[in-house]
């Protein structure tokens, strides 16, 4: 980095290493907390370092902005519920993309004002940061609105949407080329506006369980814009951090798409041809077999092996602590108990892992889908708590179903299945689950926390 003292470059190197190690730590629930703290330390180190060697204009405004942002971030992190974590991730991601776009616009202004000859690659990186950062910002706001139910979570499609998207994309390419050949602030502003429009048009047709996957994709976009911004600013630590986020976000998007049994292209544009992971969402009035807490307690208390399938409903009810107590009591009775974690259970990757870790559930009890699917045939009781789509046999048996082709947990292979549900309302994909009507299935209706409390008391009384 030109003009940067050696000590500052070393500090940036330490920060970059912290980011790499943080990403490695976050790959396992056991080390996730340390990884998160290490990444935060690296970010603080990188931000503080610049104050000790650079000549900064508007220092008071910079410090004021940092103070305001720190307060908002701290208060938001303390108050956000676990069920709202995906929305928070979407907001943070959008802010990162928007910030990168604004910085690139300012740099474009400096380039245009100086009138100096600038390399084409630098100008291309500037245009890329502006347009993709704007896409990430507006797209993330739409995903936030969908998850927060400020707007419908169903795909929003209107006549001419493909044409509008194609026209906006073409406009973005043309303005990007103009930014490289004749850099000017008005062109950059128009490019940012086109990016904002593209972000909205990209996310509107996405619905149902696809929304968290789009959050991951937009996160990759933000990482790439930060990396490009690092090149424009000649800042290595931004380049490293952005590349890490972009690469990990891309891999995560592909892994989540694979867990859904679909391609990224189908997830983004499937609704345009009638495909989406969202059905009609109508509650069924077909008869089911239901029971009380005492009957289900007998099933659990005298089983040899039980598998718990957690889902978003567990997070909504904040019942993870009660569930852990129930599992502990079953374990004291000599019953083998494990948790089956589907890759897309909840509203974001690792949602169930984080939720159960918060309740001090031992890591060795958490088993990924591929590791536990072969155990269901030897399982006496599967207890499904707030999950639906991840155990829906339609993914294997019903071509044309929104989730057809998605790998699922083989709960239907167990001897008995118990669903804890508030009502017969379908899951996030909005389609009926035939497993609810299976002769082996028993439904226990009610709030998950209240129901698990009754189950806990009943099992203790056996």
Active site residues: 389
| Angle at the Cα of 210 from the Cα atoms of 208 and 215, rounded to 5 degrees | 120
Q: For residues 424 and 288, is the Cβ–Cβ distance under 8 A?
A: yes
* Residue 217 burial (CB count, 10 A): 25
d(CA 386, CA 435) in angstroms, rounded, equals: 14
d(CA 308, CA 340) in angstroms, rounded, equals: 6
How far is CA 433 from each of CA 283, 368, 406, rounded to the nearest angstrom? 10, 22, 14
- What phi, psi does 297 have (nearest 5°)? -60, -35
Query: Computed over its alpha carbons, how large is the radius of gyration of the chain?
Result: 25
d(CA 267, CA 265) in angstroms, rounded, equals: 5
Pairing of the two strands 441-445 and 366-368:
unpaired
Q: Please state the length of the chain.
A: 462
Buried residues in 176-190 as b, exposed as e (16+ CB within 10 A) = bebbbeebebebbeb
Task: Report helix, strand and coil shares of the chain as percent, to nearest 5.
Answer: 65, 5, 30
d(CA 186, CA 192) in angstroms, rounded, equals: 10
- DSSP character for 283? P
d(CA 245, CA 217) in angstroms, rounded, equals: 11
């Amino acid at each position: 980095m030109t003009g940067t003292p050696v000590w500052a470059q070393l500090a940036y190197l330490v920060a970059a290493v912290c980011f790499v190690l943080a990403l490695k730590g976050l790959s396992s629930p056991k080390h996730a907390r340390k990884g998160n703290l290490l990444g935060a330390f690296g970010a603080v180190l990188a931000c503080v370092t610049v104050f000790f060697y650079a000549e900064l204009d508007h220092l008071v405004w910079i410090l004021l902005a940092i103070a305001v942002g720190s307060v908002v971030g701290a208060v938001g992190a303390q108050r956000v519920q676990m069920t709202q974590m995906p929305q928070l991730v979407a907001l943070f991601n959008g802010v990162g993309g928007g910030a990168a776009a604004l910085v690139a616009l300012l740099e474009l202004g400096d380039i245009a004002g100086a009138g100096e000859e600038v390399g084409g690659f630098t100008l291309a990186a500037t245009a890329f940061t502006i347009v993709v950062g704007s896409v990430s910002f507006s797209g993330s706001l739409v995903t936030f609105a969908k998850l927060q139910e400020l707007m419908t979570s169903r795909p929003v499609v209107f006549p001419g949407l493909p044409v509008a998207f194609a026209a906006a994309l073409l406009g973005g390419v043309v303005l990007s080329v103009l930014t490289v050949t004749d850099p000017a602030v008005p062109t950059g502003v128009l490019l940012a506006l086109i990016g904002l429009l593209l972000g909205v048009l990209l996310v509107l047709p996405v619905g149902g369980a696809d929304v968290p996957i789009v959050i991951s994709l937009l996160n990759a976009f933000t990482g790439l814009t930060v990396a490009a911004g690092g090149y424009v600013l000649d800042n290595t630590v931004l380049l490293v951090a952005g590349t890490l986020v972009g690469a990990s976000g891309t891999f995560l998007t592909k892994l989540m798409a694979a867990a859904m049994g679909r391609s990224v292209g189908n997830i983004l544009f499937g609704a345009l041809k009638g495909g989406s992971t969202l059905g009609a969402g109508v509650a069924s009035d077909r008869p089911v077999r239901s029971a009380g807490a005492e009957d289900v307690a007998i099933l659990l208390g005298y089983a040899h092996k039980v598998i718990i399938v957690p889902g978003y409903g567990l997070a909504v009810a904040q019942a993870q602590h009660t569930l852990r107590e129930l599992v502990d009591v079953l374990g004291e009775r000599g019953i083998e108990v494990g948790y089956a974690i589907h890759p897309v259970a909840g509203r974001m990757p690792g949602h169930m892992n984080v939720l159960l870790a918060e309740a001090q559930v031992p890591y060795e009890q958490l088993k990924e889908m591929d590791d536990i699917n072969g155990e269901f045939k030897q399982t006496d009781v599967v207890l499904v708590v707030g999950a639906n789509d991840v155990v829906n046999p339609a993914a294997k048996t019903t071509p044309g179903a929104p989730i057809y082709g998605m790998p699922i947990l083989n709960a239907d292979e167990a001897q008995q299945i118990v669903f804890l549900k508030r009502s017969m309302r379908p899951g996030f994909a909005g389609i009926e689950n035939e497993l609810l009507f299976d002769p082996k299935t028993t439904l226990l209706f009610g709030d998950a926390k209240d129901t698990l409390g009754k189950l806990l008391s009943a099992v203790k009384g056996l």
